Structure 1
Amino acid sequence: MTSADGGMAAAATTSLPERSEEGRNYDYRYAWIRDQCYAGQAMAAAGQHALLDEAVRFVGARLHEDGPKLQPAYTVDGGAVPDQRTLELPGYPGGFDRTGNHVNRQFQLDAFGEALLLFAAAARQGGLDREGLRAAEIAVAAIAARWSEPDAGIWELDNRAWTHSRLICAAGLQRIADVAPDAARRRERIELADAILTHTTTHAMHRGGHWQRAPDDPGLDAALLLPPVRGLLPADDPRTRATLRAYTENLTHEHYAYRFRHDERPLAEAEGAFLLCGFMTSLAEHHQGREVEAWFERNRHACGAAGLYSEEYDIAQRQLRGNLPQAFVHALLLETVAALAHDPPA
């Protein structure tokens, strides 16, 4: 699902509903910056450097063109995502036909942090050229200018100071500092990462000792498992352990994982299990040095007959939900496989 320009479609389909008759139909035939970065990092972990280079080239080009106004998603050839609209077609049963995506009107801060993590992964493989280094500088400057702004976050919701967005930016700054061209820029990146982490710790720590979704939202979120895996905090940091413990106790069921709690309904009634989150949990447990076979295998088996994954999995009806194949699920699956193969639990 990758174009000649390196842009990877998030999915090959549009309008396959997440929930029948609920209007949750989306067009995912575009290249999300975040997904592109997930795929590139998975390729780095697996040693597939050609695909890593394509991800770096595509994301870097978008930063050179748009700088701090980087869009969350583009067409696969780097163009603008069209406005969302419905068509005069019935669509898939339980849904309706939709093209375009409202993501073109959003600001997603975490895209800059993910870009830095991608560039740092490429640099560790010796694959970050001058254009890539300059794109990293642009991303660093964008975080410095915009990290205190509310954003739509990883789940593309209302604008808030989402904790994950800030923590993943801090993680990206730390990792790209390791390949800074000089001591002054390394220090600048580390200081900015420390400032973001300190501010977020002050404003977005739950009284239970774990990260909460936002300063004004005390809930848990699967995305909060990822920044420590990316190197922001060590596995034995109390915030890391408390967040993972609280998440698995409250937002998982039989090793299926959910993004966050929508309301008081049982988790499986609000939405399907998020397979991306299942692999995030696998990586987080592996980061703790624990056996992750149950987490990994339960989510690995939640695929169709062709071995492809959608975004969600209905655990009651044992059915895939939403568009497919969903690229970021496959990316985290591959990264988890690579992590388990290279560093099996003790």
Structure 2
Amino acid sequence: MSDRLWTHSRLICVAGLRAVAAAAPRRPLADTSTALADTLLDAVERTCLHPDSHWQRTPDDPSVDAALLLPGVRGALPAADPRTRAALAACRREPADDHFLYRFRHDERPLEETEGTFLLCGFVMALAEHRQGGTVEAFRWFERNRGACGGSGLYAEEFDIAQRRLRGNLAQAFVNAVLRETAARLGE
């Protein structure tokens, strides 16, 4: 078990605390949740903000991680926050290939030689683009990843773009759930 401080895990906690604060029936709970979220966000910013202003994987790993799009989608930070926008820009630049998104770069090899694209991350990218007002890009990401299903219409965890086949766990409930969420949001 790793004792690393994963930026994604910590920022998802910020998003969860903000959701509790928004739904809290009593002010003390909302105030406490907001204070905890702010404290955690400050700590993460001090240790995990890359010099280029995007979130990095851990305090000691400066690489881009597509999972760091999810906290922005889930409300850890506003869409207009520079860190949210920088994370989106970094993911467009680094682990993306033809509107498919890899989770992160393992090493200097071409991305398709290390693993398949993460379909969950591709749909989250569509949500992130939509949240930024990039409707056309959101639809491009959505349609590209929607087309990566198997003959049964189910999605696996990964898609091998070189061999055009599913990889990883099948059926992947998380991918199917975020596909439906993305379709609903884009249809609004």
TM-score calculated relative to the size of structure 2:
0.96
Counterpart in the other structure of 1:320: 166
Q: Which amino acid aligns with 1:249?
A: R
Q: 2:157 aligns with which of 301, 305, 311?
A: 311
CA distance in structure 1 between the aligned counterparts of 2:140 and 2:31, rounded to whole angstroms:
41
Residue aligned with 1:322, SS? strand
Aligned with residue 36 of structure 2, among 182, 192, 209: 192
Higher relative contact order, structure no. (Cα contacts within 8 Å, ≥ 6 residues apart): 1
Equivalent of 1:269 in 101, 106, 113: 113
Q: Which residue of 1 aligns with 2:47?
A: 203
Distance in 1 between residues matched to 2:168 and 2:186, nearest whole Å: 28
Offset of residue 233 of structure 1: 1.2
Matched, 1:300 2:146: yes
Give the SS at the match of 1:233: coil
Quote the residue 1:224 is aligned against.
Answer: 68
CA distance in 1 between counterparts of 2:53 and 2:23 reads 32
Q: CA RMSD in A?
A: 1.0
Question: Is this contact kept in 1: 2:148–2:159, CA < 8 A?
Answer: yes
Unaligned runs of 5+ in 2: none
Q: Quick check: 2:100–2:144 contact (8 Å CA) kept in 1?
A: yes
Runs (4+) of structure 1 exceeding 4 A deviation are none
Indicate the residue corresponding to 2:96 in structure 1. 252
* Corresponding position: 1:215 with 2:62: no
Query: Which of 154, 164, 174 matches 2:8?
Result: 164
Instruction: State the partner residue of 1:52.
Output: none
Describe the superposition over 1:57-87 as per-residue Cα deviations: whole angstroms up to 9, x where unpaired.
Answer: xxxxxxxxxxxxxxxxxxxxxxxxxxxxxxx
Match in the other structure for 2:26: 182
Aligned-residue offset at 1:246: 1.0
Is 2:181 the partner of 1:335? yes
SS at match of 1:311: strand
**One-letter code of the match for 1:297?**
E
From 215, 223, 235, the counterpart of 2:79: 235
State the shift of 1:323 in Å.
2.2
* TM superposition shift of 1:179: 2.0
Partner of 2:11: helix, strand, or coil?
A: helix
Higher helix content, 1 or 2: 2
Q: Distance in 1 between matches of 2:3 and 2:91?
A: 23
Q: If the length of structure 1 is used for normalisation, what is the TM-score?
A: 0.53
Instruction: Report which of the two structures shows the higher radius of gyration computed on alpha carbons.
Output: 1
Kindly state the Cα deviation for residue 209 of structure 1 after the two structures are TM-superposed. 0.8
- Output aligned runs, 1:83-102, within 5 Å: none
Consecutive unaligned residues in structure 1, runs of 5 or more:
1-105, 107-157
Q: Percent identity?
A: 59
Instruction: Within 5 Å, give how 1:133-148 maps onto structure 2.
Output: none
Pairing 1:286-297 to 2, within 5 Å after superposition:
286-290=130-134, 291=136, 292-297=138-143
